Amino acid sequence: MALVNIDKVHKYYGDLHVLKGVDLKIQAGEVVSIIGRSGSGKSTLLRCMNGLEAYQEGAIILDNKEVSSDERQVRALARSVGMVFQSFNLFPHLTVGENVMLAPKLVLKQSAEDARKMALDKLTKVGLAEKFDQYPDKLSGGQQQRVAIARALAMSPKVLLCDEITSALDPELVGEVLKVLEELAAEGMTLVLVTHEMNFARDVGDRVVFMHQGKVWETGPSAEVFANPSTPELRSFINAVL
């Protein structure tokens, strides 16, 4: 069974039908890029995958657990799925190290020592171990986003969801964040990336999912999809962004 099974998922915001029967399977170790126009439902799909949003029809099974927005379910899911946001969302009153250690201590009940080791390990991975005792507002946007990645990784998730995590960054800082993602991909981490970085999607992603009008409109191996889009919608999208 795939790590993530999304089966005919429908999502409404009031009367607004946002996801109109999304089907998607993601295997462990896959790097999937979700692309599509603004408003096509990319963020909504990601947020349904970890219970931040409820969906009304269909099913999402992630790591053999059915995803629902029930409070307890979301908490149980935190062990399987991590998320990184466009706006970093670091906790400003906690140091970098405390940001990373908070959930392992509170949720996984790790000892202070274990949590510290884990945090140092993950911060080393994103190249920021020396910022352990700094507060987030002393860091650049790229550094903050790398801390956010480390914070998510400290929960040892099976899949990491990233929603346009480079969109809020100055162009010269995008590279350092993408590099971290590239390394994670190389290590076999399952990544689901909503992204506008088409080059990254093509070069690092295994597979591209093109969302259009609340559906998975087209999907396939990255190189193929970019070279040979089969739907006119994807063709015009690619022409517009590349």
Ligand X SMILES: Nc1ncnc2c1ncn2[C@@H]1O[C@H](COP(=O)(O)OP(=O)(O)OP(=O)(O)O)[C@@H](O)[C@H]1O
Contacting residues toward another protein, per CB under 8 A: 50, 52, 71, 74-79, 81-83, 85, 87, 89-95, 102-103, 106-108, 134-135, 137-138, 148, 151-152, 155
What interhelical angle do 112-125 and 96-106 show, nearest 10? 130
Among residues 71 and 113, whose Cβ is nearest to another protein? 71
Q: Is 240 in the site for ligand X (CB under 6 A)?
A: no
In the list ligand X, another protein, Mg ion, none, the entry touching 54 (Cβ below 5 to 8 angstroms by class) is: none
Buried b (16+ CB within 10 A) or exposed e, 119-140: bbebbebbebbebbeebbeebe
Q: Is 91 in the site for ligand X (CB under 6 A)?
A: no
Query: Which one among 4, 22, 35, 40 touches ligand X, defined by CB under 6 A?
Result: 40
Structure tokens at 74: 């979301």
Query: Which one among 5, 31, 33, 44 touches ligand X, defined by CB under 6 A?
Result: 44
Contact window for ligand X (CB under 6 A) among 40-48, 97-105, 218-226, 227-235 = 40-48
CB 235 within 8 A of CB 217: no
**Parallel, antiparallel, or unpaired: how do β-strands 190-194 and 207-212 relate?**
unpaired
Torsion of CA 94, 77, 25, 33, to 10 degrees: -10
CB 9 within 8 A of CB 60: yes
**d(Cα 97, Cα 100) in Å, to the nearest integer?**
5
In the list Mg ion, ligand X, another protein, none, the entry touching 16 (Cβ below 5 to 8 angstroms by class) is: ligand X
**Minimal distance, residue 144 CB to another protein, in Å:** 12
**d(Cα 163, Cα 147) in Å, to the nearest integer?**
15
Among residues 36 and 97, whose Cβ is nearest to Mg ion? 36
In the list ligand X, another protein, Mg ion, none, the entry touching 79 (Cβ below 5 to 8 angstroms by class) is: another protein
In the list Mg ion, ligand X, another protein, none, the entry touching 137 (Cβ below 5 to 8 angstroms by class) is: another protein
Q: Is 188 in the site for ligand X (CB under 6 A)?
A: no
Q: Is 43 in the site for Mg ion (CB under 5 A)?
A: yes
Residues that bind Mg ion (CB under 5 A): 43
Residues that bind ligand X (CB under 6 A): 13, 16, 18, 36, 38-44
